[in-house]
Amino acid sequence: MFPSTSPDAGRESWSDGPRPGPAAPTRGHPPAPRTGPAVAEGERRGRGGPRRARRAGEPARRSEDEVDEPEEEPVAPVEVHRPLALTIAGFAALLGVGLVLGAQTSGPGHRLPFAFIVFGVQLLFVLAWTMAMRPPALLLVGGISAAVAAAADIAAVQSDVAGLAPLGYLAVGGFLAAVLGQLVRRVDRVRVTDSLGATLLIVVGVVAFGTLIVLSRIPAGTQAITVCLTASGVALTVARLTDAVLPWPRLAPQVPRGAAGVVAGAMVGTLGSALLGSYLVTPFTPTRAAVIGLVAAVTAVLSDLAVGYAEAGRLMAGEPPTMWVARHMQGPLGGFALAAPAAYAMCMLFL
């Protein structure tokens, strides 16, 4: 029931009891607007209460504290230069032919012609790798590496027993001499810790070519050199030719190489070594030649690919590009340098 007093009349104050609520709106009139204090937006959000369930397909609300992270921009792949890939393929083929033909000139008491050919390849390796990696005291490291190469070839020819022990001692001595030479100058001393890997690769790569001379003194060693270096040369050449035609799929956007070239090079190199093994005498068979050729081909191709990744890393780090010729000779030379001890190991273990 409605109160008997008029709404305009004064009301008696209530001392006890709850405060009466607002009067019910009269029939036919809308309720009066709210005149209480406005509730702040932060307080309204802070109130606990049931939240409306998100419908299917409706995007979730994002909090105000969430910050939009910038999206990573896609890296444009490096362009593959077809004439450059063809040139590197031709250089790898010439290098393989020269080493294989040089191994055929080697014979008992007649190792010097092959040693001179290997020494020329070692000098190319020193030039390319020192100019590409640029260690501190570049001339000193290059000179020590060339001296170690000459000493390794002499030790491989003149030693009484054909073995790798003299080459190992020379590699350790040459590395220590190169590091000490970098420590002498204060300017180069700061960078010597960063260049230990580069110095070690240059010295060990030079000595690795000397294993070919040691291998030529072992029975069936010349044939093993022929099979392994043929597989390596074919693998490197086919890989680069495939990159010139079909560099796909790209292994990395910054590296102008494709997976098709790496796989095709290893397969064709293995096939070539198996065919060559069918024409060689015992202990070679097509199966044995295919196995040692596979190891040499994969080693050479992966070494060439690793050189490409290293060059891309140096460019991404902001280092200035090195000499054009040395930079692109580095891959095939590194592939043959690593294939040489692989051929020696397979000849000792498998034949």
Give one DSSP letter per residue of 2-71, joined into a string.
--SS-TTSPPPPP-SSPPP-PPPPPTTSPPPPP-SPPPPHHHHHHS--PPPPPPTTPPPPPPTT--PPPP
Q: In this predicted structure, what is the pLDDT of residue 44?
A: 47
One-letter amino acid of 337: A
Q: In this predicted structure, what is the pLDDT of residue 298?
A: 97
Q: In this predicted structure, what is the pLDDT of residue 135?
A: 86
Q: In this predicted structure, what is the pLDDT of residue 117?
A: 96
Q: In this predicted structure, what is the pLDDT of residue 164?
A: 94
Write the CA distances from 256 to 185, 209, 238, 239, 330, integer angstroms: 38, 27, 15, 12, 15
- For the chain, 351 residues long, give each residue's pLDDT as a single digit of tens: 444 444 444 444 444 555 555 555 445 455 555 554 554 444 444 444 555 555 555 555 555 444 455 555 666 788 889 999 999 999 999 999 999 999 998 888 788 999 999 999 999 999 999 998 888 888 999 999 999 999 999 999 999 888 999 999 999 999 999 988 888 876 666 677 767 888 999 999 999 999 999 999 998 899 999 999 999 999 999 999 999 999 989 989 999 999 999 999 999 999 999 999 999 887 889 999 999 999 999 999 999 999 999 988 888 888 877 778 888 999 999 999 999 999 999 999 887
One-letter amino acid of 304: D
Write the CA distances from 231 to 199, 236, 281, integer angstroms: 28, 9, 18
Q: In this predicted structure, what is the pLDDT of residue 88?
A: 96
